[in-house]
A = this chain, B = another copy of it.
Amino acid sequence: MRTVRAFAPATVANVSCGFDILGFALNDLGDEVHLTSTDSNEVTIQQIIGDGGRLPLEVSKNTAGVAVLSFLKAVKLNFGVSIVLHKNLPLGSGMGSSAASAVAALIAINELTGVRLPKQDLLLHAMEAEGIACGSAHADNVAPSLLGGFILIRSYHPLDVIRVPLQATLFATLVHPHLELKTEDSRKILRPAISREESIQQSGNVAALMVGLMTSDYDLISRTLTDTIAEPTRKLFIPGFEAIQSEAKRVGALGAGISGSGPTIYALSKDYATAQHAGQVMASSFQQEGLKSDVIISKINPTGAMILD
């Protein structure tokens, strides 16, 4: 019996103009998975800590469990393992909670079995697990949680994941109101078609965001952080969204938008003091809507998921 502990960070997916194709990883905040080898040839979830008993212990319904099963099936191993999942991320928060659990489990099983595939090769298993949680196999949380940094999903068919060579120094502010949204519900309200003009705007912004990130052009980054696809409908689920967004910008944040499918709102700033100030005014705006919130400040995590032992 051997135990491997792994950590996978929280992530901000979508990133305004990068709807469905961009995401970045945070420091410190994330889920932990402890895997212990057993003699049974079975995968079981022994315990989930921090979810208030809300997540399924059934392996095939839990993102950590599905990730482990998908990995073992692909590498054709019969391997007994017992999972302990430490949920440090709130559920349905838009901070990549289900992705972090899946990624931490994958990093751990990859180590525990001694298979040691390159991180990139774990991505498809993490996406399969995401499919269980979100109703669709998206990569914009799992990829940054696994790989770290600012990640661009160029294509899903075939999967083409690119690490943006980030030059800009960025501080993320996450303000998480005590309110829960399900990714699955948030996807249902997306418009199936958008106008050509809106699509061109989004393309122009996300292309320019790449240039800004790679040349540390903070003014340019700031001009790009809008979303014509998801924000117009999804913001209706977040009380006070527009006021919070403009408050963040008023105190100097480069921009703000919905983190993942919400209700967490992210802001990006070029220094820590601004990121902190943005957090204060954003939390205070949520307060005016009668919502308590948690504020998290983090640089972009360059390494992603890792083994803790």
Contact = CB atoms under 8 A, between A and B. Distances in A.
A220 B154 CA distance: 9
Contacts of A54: none
A196 B195 contact: no
A19 interface: yes
Contact of A207 (B152, B201, B220): B152
A168 interface: no
Interface in A167-207: 190-196, 198-207
Interface in A205-227: 205-211, 214-215, 220, 223-224
A134 interface: no
Contacts of A223: 154-155, 160
Contacts of A192: 195-196
A227 B63 CA distance: 35
A190 B210 CA distance: 27
A267 interface: no
Contact of A155 (B19, B165, B196, B205): B205
Contact of A211 (B20, B153, B165, B194): B165
A104 interface: no
A203 B165 contact: no
Interface in A124-181: 152-155, 160, 162, 164-165
Contacts of A194: 193-194, 196, 199
A306 interface: no
A223 to B, nearest CB: 6
Contacts of A10: none
A296 to B, nearest CB: 26
A300 interface: no
Nearest to A164: B211
A199 B199 contact: yes
A85 interface: no
A81 interface: no
A202 B204 contact: no
B205 A202 contact: no
A200 B162 contact: no
Contact of A152 (B19, B190, B204): B204
Contacts of A201: 155
B21 A200 contact: yes
A162 B195 contact: no
25 contacts: A17-B203, A18-B203, A18-B207, A19-B200, A152-B204, A152-B207, A154-B204, A154-B223, A154-B224, A155-B223, A160-B204, A160-B208, A160-B223, A162-B220, A190-B196, A192-B195, A193-B194, A193-B195, A193-B196, A194-B194, A198-B199, A203-B203, A203-B207, A206-B206, A210-B210
Interface of A: 17-22, 152-155, 160, 162, 164-165, 190-196, 198-211, 214-215, 220, 223-224, 229
